[in-house]
Structure 1
Amino acid sequence: MLVERRMMVTNKVLRALENTEMSVFAQDCDLRYVWVCNAGRSWLAGAEAGMADSDLLASQSAERSTAMKREVIRTQRPAHFELAIASGSSVRWYGVRIDADHDDAGEVCGVIGTSVEITEQKRREETLKTLLRELSHRSKNLLAIIQSLASQTARHSVTVPEFLVRFRGRIQSLAYSQDIVTDADWRGADLMSLVTMQVERYAPDGMAQIAVESPDVYLSPTASLHVGLALHELAVNAASYGSLSVPGGTVAIGARLEPREGEETLILDWQERNGPRVRPERDARFGTSTLERIVPNAVGGEASLEYSSDGLRYTLMIPQEQYEINSRSSAIGA
């Protein structure tokens, strides 16, 4: 009766095992396979009684597997290791767990073990490692930008309160641009979203004072942060002293593609109109170093800032590797 019950339980366990990706095996003390159950399409699929790991695995994997199993027989302690099996142009991974097997007298008679495919788990782990490396790289870049902004802001601030106001504004600008980049899975940010996020809140009448004509262009993550910062500097200045500080003042933001030195370059223009008459002298506190040095250097381009009498104009040239084109025409605003 007890034997029959054990057989029934064994049969049910084997049936349940068939619905999993787990293979179960046993080897004798010479590490010859005695039996394999539910091998499926795993690395154990070709295993037959009397075979060894050297008959199933590449030499290096076979040596490692055999060494692990001999150690289990010697110490009678369970062990776990991973196997990488070449499958065409890809690699399949298996998690193998082994323990000492004992006969009815309690003597070690070999090993018993399981093998489960963990390829998807390994892929997820590798993807996570890649994402963490990318996050670390971007975090270092962002910290470098913040350090540069802190130095530049401090250099041109007369008082601590003035420094705090300007520095907080610039950090907030970076945060806004970073949100757009993150929402796009770090692909970057489209120029229209940057304009809306960075400029609109400084215009009393919102986008009614801002005209944008641009290709549907996606900026790289680096260009997104720095172009967003440039737009912030220009918008703050326009709201304080320029065309966004008076009724009827407008800003025209244009982007166009031009061939330069054998490649297409994105030319970004900021033009203020109907504002107060622009003074030829520069306010040292205005972020000229950000606009003329930090931003163009970061994107590998060039920039110019003009104080013409009809309104401030800023031009930024962005090289091809810092953007991609979705569509060649798009326009919003007045």
Structure 2
Amino acid sequence: MIAHRLKPKNDFLFKRLFGENESKHLLIALLNAILHPVDEKKIVNVTVIENKELVKEVIDGKSGRLDVRCETADQEQIDLEVQIEREHAMDKRTLFYLGKMYVSSIKEGHDYELLKKTVAINILDFSYLPLTQFHSTFHLYEDTTRDFMLTDVLEVHFLECPKFRSTKHDLNNPLHRWLLFLDEKVTKQQLEELIAMDSTIKSAEERLLRLSSDEETLRLYEAREEALIEHNSAMSAAKRSGMKKGIEEGERIGLQIGLQKGIQEGLQKGIQEGLQKGIQEGLQKGIQEGLQEGLREGKLETAKNLLSLGINIEMIEKATGLSRAEFLK
């Protein structure tokens, strides 16, 4: 890392580097490196769509989106954005702005044939897609016939810098050279090698140094850095607060669910044990009552037999333990 070198991926500084007409040769070189068109389709000229008032408004507002927009000589619209902080819906966010640009490329009532090809390029300082390559390109293809493209009027690029850092760098590849130039961790030796190989990168580094010495640019650059820090701190605090609230709510709900489950399980267990106990006690009582009833019936039968033999009633009472009222019925 080179001490005191401003971060080219700071979105405000990136816009100053590539998003002004006086530096469009740098933008053209970067776009050709990303889009790698065949020779006859290389971008040779662009019209940069500048909005300096919006830049100041975004900086002062501590939020917003700073992108570089241009239109090629072939009337293709390109939107280039650097995103340092993780966005969890970059796919939807990209399609939203891509769709707005595409729709606004013609006026109401004009022929659809006049709609301009629109390209969105995202340079991300974080890993986002579940893919191994650092550069991913998307078009509209048919689901089953994968080699059939419906149209090329919409195109999306994702360049993930952490994945690029972990790959073997090829300085003969212009895209590798540009991503190294943009990396705030580039070494002095690497930068010197890039400048020696590529005159456009030399021009970009010279512009970066000029911007670094401009007081107003430096003020806005630092304001943007502070805004990002404040945003991150606020997001982290909100996340911590949300996590704490979530844990407390989770514990409360978990306690309620646990209590309900405990009551239900206790009732079920109680019912089962009650049934088992009731059956056992009922069975025991039934056996005892059955034995007693059977014994009584046997005594009655014996008493009647003895009575029929003319045995004295008192003797029958003593022998069976029954009262005369029970066997004389």
Q: TM-score, normalised by structure 2?
A: 0.24
* Bigger Rg, which one: 2
When normalised by structure 1's length, the TM-score is: 0.24
Q: Larger % of strand: which?
A: 1
- Judging by fraction of residues, say which structure has more helix: 2
